[in-house]
Amino acid sequence: MNVTPDASLASTAFAPPAPPARMKHLPTGTLAAAFAWTVIAVFVVVPLAALAFRASEASAASVRSLLTAPRVLAAFRITFLTSIGAAFVDLLLAFPIAWSLGRYDFPGRRLVDALVDMPLALPTSVAGLTLAALSSETGPLGRFLASSGIRVAYTPLGISLALAFVGLPFVVRAIEPVVRVLDESALEAARSLGASEATVAWRVVLPQLVPAAITGFAVALARSLGEYGSVVFIAGNLPFKTEVVSLFIVARLEDHEPVAAAVLAIALLTASCVLLAAVAGLERRATARFVPAERL
Amino acid sequence: MFAERSGRSEQSAAFPRFHAAMSRHSFSLCHAGAVALLGALTLGGCGKSTGSPRPESALLVAAYDPARTLVLEANKRFLSDELAAGRTVTVRESFGGSGKQARAVVDGLGADVVLLGLADDVNALADAKLVKPDWAKAREGKGAPYTSTIVFVVRAGNPKNVRDWSDLARSDVALVAPNPKSSSAAKLSYLAAWGWALRQPNGSEIAAESLVRAMYGKAVVLDATARGASTTFLQNGIGDVLVTWENEAYLARDERARAPIEIVTPSASIVAEPAVAIVDANVDHHGTRALAERYVALLETNEMQEAAARAHFRPRNAEVLAAHQREFAAVPLFTVEETFGSWSAAKAKHFADGGLLDRILEARR
């Protein structure tokens, strides 16, 4: 089966005791499946159906004019570009963090381990306000950058900064478990055959991390596409420059136009699903290519 | 199949952290679902939560954010007044953006009394048949215990010499404003600029349009909310002028000795009329009409009008207003109705999809 390396290794390295014989006859699989379906139905399918139902009240003409407006299209472009940019930044930042957390015991390791998850706990609007204050032209970071001509707050760069902040834990936590269970024998084998450390890193370590990294990338991306709280305060919301789709959706709601909001939400969702499906396909191919068959 | 399922449970036993589960290959559906769920929850609201009738003694007040201190003071007074009259009551309050609060009540928040930033947000409740359609006529003073207006906030010393609405159109003035699409303060600012231009010598719709076009066509930040715009201007130091509620401007001045600002009152502005209404459908359901009426009457008392003045709102009561006249700049104020006919007419022309504001913002491309 198509399971990522950490899963397969986990099951070999930490094999749990075999279940008591009679457990095998209990219909736990069916029960678990029924439970999974119920929960997913209540939490995902029903709200989504309600959303789609709301959106379906819109006439075809109004949907077309809403979704083809240049400003809305620009907002979609800005949303996707800043989200993808942020996810790539997260990838770059997450590799060294995940590597050090997964491989080494260094002073303050547990603190770093705990702090990595902070962006998940912080209310996103607080994060947005803080990052805006930090990176605006009067802020400590922004003043420094402004002297070299770089503006962050109230530009697409600021949006990406906020998105990278909220997305970082997802990428770190996707890669870290795989770093923990790297195939040491492959590393040793490569070294004993005379591979340099760079070659080991590039040809042996990196391929093992690629599927997990893509997963982390996708989760951070998914999180970013619908992000509102952290973005509105740092974006400045200028049409064609820094206006994201989630802002449009909230503006429609505030204006007592839930149908238009639902149409935009469904459009964002559809576009996100297409993008995420593409990333999922990429990850499957990476797993097939980089993870040896015996570890699947 | 069964074997595979148990394989997964082993994995999570070995790595009891949620992120281990995330590194499975089949993430796309579940995370698309998570995104969907967030969106759906936002749009679906919290569902109907009216529940069973509450006893006479409990009142829920839903108010817009800027009225927070005022409502908390009113509630304190109300409790002691009721206690003095031998009645034990409880009052709960809920705060949020004006439009958001209206939507929450439409979606089932069982508020007995609403205090919202714009009469139009109460109209939304009337459209949902929660409030009588003639709610504004039913009460004197249009249901608002106090008014406010729109003013400018500039940096100390007014370095760009901003005096009136026409200065906001100047190319050397960086304007910070909330986005009229999402903020009620911003809608009023836009309409105030329009109304001012109409009232100038040789004023015309064309002049008004070119003024708002210049303002919103070049604003350097269009925050989602009035508070967001204040933060951008005050904390983050962006822009030369902020257009906002008068009471917010005075609050900002009170709080900011560190980075001094000045308030500039234009030569004419719009009257902002927050609205109080009893939510008929909810009080009938809860049996709290008498309680709600006593609460609304309390907001009209001189004591509460004084409290409103302390919060930098302009009291509706002429007597109290006269006592505080020196605190508020004398400025000719015009209403939405006399300038635009009605709120819905103003909205349809300026803020609807494809309306003038959309066209102005489209032109920023």
- Whichever domain contains B115, its CATH number is 3.40.190.10
Half-sphere exposure of B184 (CA within 13 A, CB side): 30
Mean pLDDT of chain A: 86
Q: Are residues B141 and B163 in the same domain?
A: no
Q: Do A6 and B222 touch (CB under 8 A)?
A: no
Instruction: Write the pLDDT tens digit of every residue in A173-192.
Output: 999 999 998 888 888 898 89
Q: Is the dihedral of CA A73, A74, A78, A79 positive or negative?
A: negative
The pLDDT, as a whole number, for residue B281 is 93
CB-CB: which of A11, A136, A137 is closest to B10?
Answer: A11
Whole-angstrom CA distances from A135 to A49, A141, A296 are: 40, 5, 45
Q: Are residues B205 and B156 in the same domain?
A: yes
Q: Comparing C-alpha atoms, which of B136, B139, B148 is closest to residue B185?
A: B148
Mean pLDDT of chain B: 81
Residues A214-236 have a mean pLDDT of: 92
Instruction: Write the pLDDT tens digit of every residue in B216-272.
Output: 988 999 988 888 888 889 888 889 999 999 988 988 888 765 568 899 999 999 998
What distance lies between CA B52 and its chain's CA centroid?
A: 30
Q: Do A251 and B181 touch (CB under 8 A)?
A: yes
Of B36 and B181, the one with more pLDDT: B181
Report whether pLDDT(A295) > 60.
no
Question: What six digits make up the tokens of A254?
Answer: 């505030």
Q: For this complex, say whether ipTM is above 0.90.
A: no
Q: Are residues B225 and B341 in the same domain?
A: yes
Half-sphere exposure of B280 (CA within 13 A, CB side): 13
Q: Do A280 and B1 touch (CB under 8 A)?
A: no
The pLDDT, as a whole number, for residue B365 is 80
Q: Topology of A50-295 in CATH?
A: MetI-like fold (1.10.3720)
In a domain, residue B51? The reply is no
What are residue B177's phi and psi, to 5 degrees? -145, 150
Q: Are residues B95 and B229 in the same domain?
A: no
In a domain, residue B47? The reply is no
Q: Are residues B184 and B108 in the same domain?
A: no
DSSP of A236-257 = ---TTTT--HHHHHHHHHHTT-
Instruction: Write the pLDDT tens digit of every residue in B320-359.
Output: 888 888 888 889 999 998 999 988 899 999 998 788 998 9
Q: Are residues B83 and B103 in the same domain?
A: yes
The pLDDT, as a whole number, for residue A286 is 86
- CA–CA gap between residue B143 and residue A272 (Å, rounded): 45
3-class state of residue B146 by DSSP: strand
The pLDDT, as a whole number, for residue B37 is 44
Report whether pLDDT(B32) > 90.
no
- CA–CA gap between residue A291 and residue A205 (Å, rounded): 11
Task: Grade residue A18 by pLDDT with cuts at 50, 70 and 90.
Answer: low
3-class state of residue B331 by DSSP: coil
The pLDDT, as a whole number, for residue A12 is 42
Helices B98-106 and A245-254 pack at an angle, to 10 degrees, of 70
Instruction: Write the pLDDT tens digit of every residue in A77-106.
Output: 999 999 999 999 999 999 999 999 998 889
The pLDDT, as a whole number, for residue A21 is 54
Q: Are residues B126 and B208 in the same domain?
A: no
Q: Are residues B292 and B224 in the same domain?
A: no
Q: Are residues B216 and B203 in the same domain?
A: yes
Q: Which domain holds residue B155?
A: 147-271+332-362
In a domain, residue B227? The reply is yes
Task: Grade residue B24 by pLDDT with cuts at 50, 70 and 90.
Answer: very low
- CA–CA gap between residue A177 and residue A154 (Å, rounded): 36
Q: How many domains does chain B have?
A: 2
Q: B224 contacts in A (CB within 8 Å)?
A: 232, 237, 247, 250-251
In a domain, residue B305? The reply is no
Cα angle, residue A260 at apex, residues B46 and B245 outer, rounded to 5°: 75
Q: Are residues B103 and B217 in the same domain?
A: no
In a domain, residue B15? The reply is no
Q: B180 contacts in A (CB within 8 Å)?
A: none
B20, closest residue in chain A (CA to CA): A177
The pLDDT, as a whole number, for residue B252 is 84
Q: A2 contacts in B (CB within 8 Å)?
A: 25
The pLDDT, as a whole number, for residue B3 is 36
Instruction: Write the pLDDT tens digit of every residue in A21-61.
Output: 555 566 678 888 899 999 999 999 999 999 999 999 999 99
Q: A69 contacts in B (CB within 8 Å)?
A: 358, 362
The pLDDT, as a whole number, for residue B7 is 34
Which amino acid type is present at position B264? V
Distance from CA of B39 to the nearest CA of A (A): 7
Domain ranges of chain A: 50-295
* A to B CB pairs, distance under 8 Å: 234
Alpha helices in chain B (DSSP H): 2-14, 18-22, 27-44, 68-84, 98-106, 119-127, 135-138, 184-198, 205-218, 226-234, 246-255, 280-286, 289-300, 302-310, 318-323, 336-340, 343-346, 356-362
In a domain, residue B308? The reply is no
A272, closest residue in chain B (CA to CA): B32
Q: Are residues B232 and B202 in the same domain?
A: yes
3-class state of residue B102 by DSSP: helix
Collect all residues with Cβ–Cβ distance below 8 Å to A122 and sequence separation of at least 6: none
